[in-house]
Amino acid sequence: MNQPTLKRTLATLLGGTLGAMVWSASAEDLLQIYHEAVANDPTLAAARANWEATQEVGPQALANLLPSVSLSGVANQQNYWERLHSDPKITFSTRYPNYNYTVSAAQPLFRKQNLVAYDQAKQTIGQSDYVLASAQQDLIVRVSQAYFDVLLAQFTIELTESQKAAVSENLAQAKRNFEVGTATITDTNDAQAKYDQIVAQELSVQNDLDNKIATLRAIIGRAPKELRRVGGRFEPELPAPNALDPWVERSLHDNLQVRIAQSNYDIAVLEVDRQRAGHYPTLDLVASFNQGYAGASASTAATAPLAFDSRLGIVGLQLNVPLYLGGSIESKVRQAVANLESSRQNLEAARRAAQLSTQTAFTGVTSGFAQIKALEQALTSAQVSYDSTKVGLEVGVRTNLDVLNQQQQVYQTRFNLAQAYYNFVINRLRLKQAVGTLSESDLEEVNRNLRG
C-alpha cells in the first residue's frame, strides 16, 4: 500500500467515513461537549460552591481582630406584694416598669490565636483556588475520556458491521464454490463459524456503546448528539521536552494535588502555633454604657411612689492570663503536632503520586507515539497480506480460512490503531494535568483535530 493510500485509510479509520457515511456539519465537537459539562456537571458545580463557601473564611477570621459592638436591652413589668405579720398587719403592694439597655464594645489588642487563625484563613483561601482548578482539570480529562470512549465504541460497531458484510460475502462465495465442486464443505463451515461469531460480537459492542454514552450523559446531563470524529490530518507529536526528568521535576512543585497537600501542611504548621498561643495572655480594650429606668407605684400606709434613672459608663483594659486549664492546652498542642506529621506524610504521598502519574502519562505519550507508527506500518502490511491471500485463494494455494483469518487481522489492526490514537490524546492531557498546566486551550488544540 503506497503512502497516499495509507493516508486515505487512516482518514477512513479516524474520520468514520466507512462506506458512503457522511457526518453532519451540526455534529457536536469536543469543545461543545466540554462547555456543556462545565455548565451541568454536578461534581464541578459542587467544587465551585465549596470554593465560594471557603472565600468566607477570611472575613470570619478577620472579624476576630476587629472591634465588636453589641446592644442588649430589658423591658419588663414587675409586681411586688408583701405582708408583715405585725400588729397591726402591714401590706406592701407595688407595680412598676423596669427598663434598661447596655451598649458594649471591645477591641482586641493582643490575641495571638486570632492572629494565627487569620493567617490560616488566608492559606485556606489560597488552597481553595487549587482545589477548584483541580476539579476543572479533572473535568477536562473526564469529558475527553468519555468523548473518545464513545467514538471508539462507535468505530468498533462500524468495524464489526464491515467485517460482518465481508464475512457474509465470503460465506456466500464458499457456498457457491461448494455447490459447483471447487471447494470443500470445510470452507463453508469455517465461514459460517466466523459469521456466527461476528453476529454474537455485535450484541456485545452495541452494549458497550450504550454504556459509554451513559457515562457521557452522566457528565453533561443529557444524551449526546452526533459526535464529530478525529480528522485524518491528525499527526501525533512527542512531548517537549522529550525527557522524563524535567516533567517529573515540574510535577513535584506544580501538580495541583501537591499544592493542595502543601497548603494543608502549611495550615497544620500554623495550627501548632495557634494551639501553643493558648498559653499567651490576651488583652482587650473594652467599653460599655448602661442606662436604666424604674418607676414604682406603692400602696401602703407609710410609703409613697418611687422612680429613678441610672447611667453607668465603663472604659478600660481587660487582661486574661491563663494559669491552668486542666491540661487542655498541652493536649491540643500534642494533637496539632500529630496532625502536622500526618500532613507531612500526606504531602510526601502526594509528591510520589504526582511523580507516578507523570511517569505513567509520559510513558503513555512516548510509547503511544511509537505504537501509532508501528501500527500504521502493521496496517499496511496486514492489508498487503490480505490482498495477497485473496489472490492465493483464487489460484488455489490458500484456503478460505486463511482469507478469513487475514481479514480478521486487518480489522483488529485498524481497531488497535484507533485505540492507540485515542489513548495518545488522553495521555497527553494527563501529562499536562500531572504538571498542573492543563487548561481549556489544550482541549481547543485537540478539538482542532476534529475538523478534518
Distance CA(285)–CA(344), nearest Å, equals: 39
11 vs 18, more confident? 11
Domain co-membership, 297 together with 382? no
Q: 192 forms bridges with which residues in the sheet?
A: none
Distance CA(214)–CA(303), nearest Å, equals: 89
Q: Which residues contact 301 (CB under 8 A, 6 or more apart)?
A: 90
User: What pLDDT, in 10s, does the model give residues 242-287?
Assistant: 999 999 999 999 999 999 999 999 999 999 999 999 999 999 999 9
Q: 84 forms bridges with which residues in the sheet?
A: 90
293, 320, 347 - which closes a domain: 320
**Is-cis flag, bond preceding 88, omega within 30?**
yes
320, 350, 374 - which closes a domain: 320
Domain co-membership, 203 together with 300? no
Distance CA(340)–CA(338), nearest Å, equals: 5
Domain co-membership, 183 together with 296? no
Domain co-membership, 140 together with 246? yes
Using pLDDT thresholds of 50, 70 and 90, give the confidence band for residue 411. Answer: confident
Cell of 43: 461534581
Is 233 within 8 Å of 452 (Cβ atoms)? yes
Output the CA torsion sign for 310, 316, 321, 325: positive
**Least confident piece of the model among 6-20, 44-58, 116-130:** 6-20
**Least confident piece of the model among 99-113, 211-225, 357-371, 387-401:** 387-401
269, 303, 320 - which closes a domain: 320
Query: Which residue's entry shows cell 453607668?
Result: 312
User: What pLDDT, in 10s, does the model give residues 190-201?
Assistant: 777 877 777 788
E runs forming strands in 85-176:
90-110
pLDDT at position 392: 84
User: What pLDDT, in 10s, does the model give residues 55-101?
Assistant: 999 999 999 999 999 999 999 988 878 888 887 888 877 787 889 99
Distance CA(431)–CA(357), nearest Å, equals: 8
Using pLDDT thresholds of 50, 70 and 90, give the confidence band for residue 404. Answer: confident
Domain co-membership, 340 together with 387? yes
Rg of the chain over CA atoms, in angstroms?
39
- Select, from the ranges 178-187, 198-207, 352-361, the one with the highest average predicted confidence (pLDDT): 352-361
Q: Which residues contact 403 (CB under 8 A, 6 or more apart)?
A: 170, 386, 389, 390, 393
Distance CA(137)–CA(44), nearest Å, equals: 10
Domain co-membership, 273 together with 403? yes
Domain co-membership, 263 together with 304? no
Burial 78-111 (b: 16+ CB within 10 A, else e): eeeeeeeeeeeeeeeebebeeebebeeeeebeeb
Domain co-membership, 76 together with 210? no
Distance CA(400)–CA(391), nearest Å, equals: 11
Residue 20 has pLDDT above 60, yes or no: no
pLDDT at position 122: 97
**Is-cis flag, bond preceding 67, omega within 30?**
no
**Least confident piece of the model among 125-129, 271-275, 374-378, 411-415:** 411-415
- Give how many domains the chain has, as a whole number: 2
Distance CA(1)–CA(311), nearest Å, equals: 104
| DSSP helix/strand/coil, 17 | coil
- CATH classification at residue 430: 1.20.1600.10
Residue 433 has pLDDT above 70, yes or no: yes
**Least confident piece of the model among 115-129, 175-189, 435-449:** 175-189
Domain, as residue range, for 99: 70-110+282-320
Is 120 within 8 Å of 88 (Cβ atoms)? no
Residue 15 has pLDDT above 50, yes or no: no
Residue 11 has pLDDT above 80, yes or no: no
Q: How far is CA 192 from the centre of its chain?
A: 49
pTM score of the predicted model = 0.82
Domain co-membership, 167 together with 298? no
pLDDT at position 4: 43
pLDDT at position 306: 66
Is 294 within 8 Å of 96 (Cβ atoms)? yes
Domain co-membership, 129 together with 237? yes
pLDDT at position 300: 45
| DSSP helix/strand/coil, 399 | coil
Domain co-membership, 121 together with 103? no
| Whole-number average pLDDT of the chain | 86
Domain co-membership, 257 together with 166? yes
Mean of pLDDT values over 331-344:
97
Report percent pLDDT > 90 for the chain.
Answer: 58
**H-helix or E-strand spanning residue 298:** strand 297-298
Using pLDDT thresholds of 50, 70 and 90, give the confidence band for residue 182. Answer: low
Residue 25 has pLDDT above 80, yes or no: no
